[in-house]
Structure 1
Amino acid sequence: MAIVVGYVPTKEGAAALAQAGQEAVLRKTSLVVINSDRDGAGEGSGDLQKALDDLTGQGVDVETRQLVRGNEPAEDLIAAAEELDAELIVIGLRRRTPVGKLILGSNAQRILLDAPCPVLAVKS
C-alpha cells in the first residue's frame, strides 16, 4: 500500500506534500506524488524537487509521476489510488466562492466523493 498525494506548485500543494510525507513516516509506507499537468507547462519543478529531496532525507520512499495526459487532476489521482490500492489520498484545499465552484467545478469535491480510500484534505 502507499499514500497518494496530489501536487501543484502552490502553497496548497506544498502543504499537501508536507502532510503526506508526515503520514508516510507515521504509517511506514511509500509515497506516490502525482503532478497532473494538463498543458505540459511543468511549472514549479524546482520547488517539487527540493521537497522530494527533503522527504527522501527523512527516509520516505518517494515515487513521482508527472502526468501530462489532458485529464482532470481528480481523474489522475483516483486512477493512481485505485492502481496502487492506496491507503490514503492527500490533497491541498483552497477557498473558493460558491460561484467559482459552480463554474469551474471542483477537483477536490470529485476526489472526496469518488476516491476508493480515505482522503485527507489540508489547508496551507
Structure 2
Amino acid sequence: MIVAAIDRRERLEKIVTFAAEEAKMRGVKLHIIHSMHGGSRTSREEVEQAEDMLGEAERLAEKIGAEVETHLLMRGNDPAKDILLFCDEVKAELLVIGVRKRSPAGKLLFGSTAQQVILEAEIPVVCIK
C-alpha cells in the first residue's frame, strides 16, 4: 500500500501523479488522505472543499491507472498524527507528502506537519516540492 497525504490543491497534481505511478508500478493500492481536526473547529464549507479536493485526486489517480481509495480523516488529531496512524492502520510501505519552501529561520523551527511526519515515520517518505 502507498499513502499520499494531500493538504492543498497547489501540490495535489505532483503528489498524486507520483504516488499513482508508483502504486501502479508496484501493483499496490493507493490511499489518498486528507486530515482535518473535525468537530466544531471545522466548517461545512471546509469539509466540502476537502471532499472536492479528494475527488479531484481520485480522478487523477484513476486516469493514471492506479487502484485508489480516498479518505477524509476527521478524528480530532493533528494532521501529522493522523497521517502516521493511518499509515500504520493500512500497513503502508511508502508515504508521499508535499513540502513547501521555508525560510532559513523557519527550517530551525519544529512543528510543521511534514517535518513531524518525516522525523517520526517508520516507513520511507517521499517529499514532493
Common topology (TM > 0.5)? yes
List gaps (5 residues or longer) in structure 2.
none
Whichever structure has more helix as a proportion of its residues is 2
The 10-residue stretch of structure 1 (46-55 or 60-69) with the greater mean CA deviation from structure 2? 46-55
- Structure 1 segments, 4+ long, off by >6 Å, are none
Partner in structure 2 of residue 30 of structure 1? 29
Instruction: Please state whether the residue corresponding to 1:8 is helix, strand or coil.
Output: coil
Partner in structure 1 of residue 93 of structure 2? 87
Q: 1:44: Cα distance to partner?
A: 4.7
Aligned AA for 2:15? A
- TM-score of the superposed pair, with normalisation by structure 2: 0.81
The 10-residue stretch of structure 1 (4-13 or 22-31) with the greater mean CA deviation from structure 2? 4-13
Aligned length: 122
Identity %: 36
Q: 1:37 to 1:113 in 2, by over 3 A?
A: same
Partner in structure 2 of residue 18 of structure 1? 17
Q: 1:70 to 1:98 in 2, by over 3 A?
A: farther
Instruction: Please state whether the residue corresponding to 2:80 is helix, strand or coil.
Output: helix
List gaps (5 residues or longer) in structure 1.
none
Q: 1:89 to 1:36 in 2, by over 3 A?
A: same
Q: 1:102: Cα distance to partner?
A: 5.7
Q: 1:50: Cα distance to partner?
A: 2.6
Partner in structure 2 of residue 50 of structure 1? 56
- TM-score of the superposed pair, with normalisation by structure 1: 0.84
Instruction: Please state whether the residue corresponding to 1:29 is helix, strand or coil.
Output: coil
Instruction: Please state whether the residue corresponding to 2:30 is helix, strand or coil.
Output: strand
The 10-residue stretch of structure 1 (53-62 or 98-107) with the greater mean CA deviation from structure 2? 98-107
Whichever structure has more strand as a proportion of its residues is 1
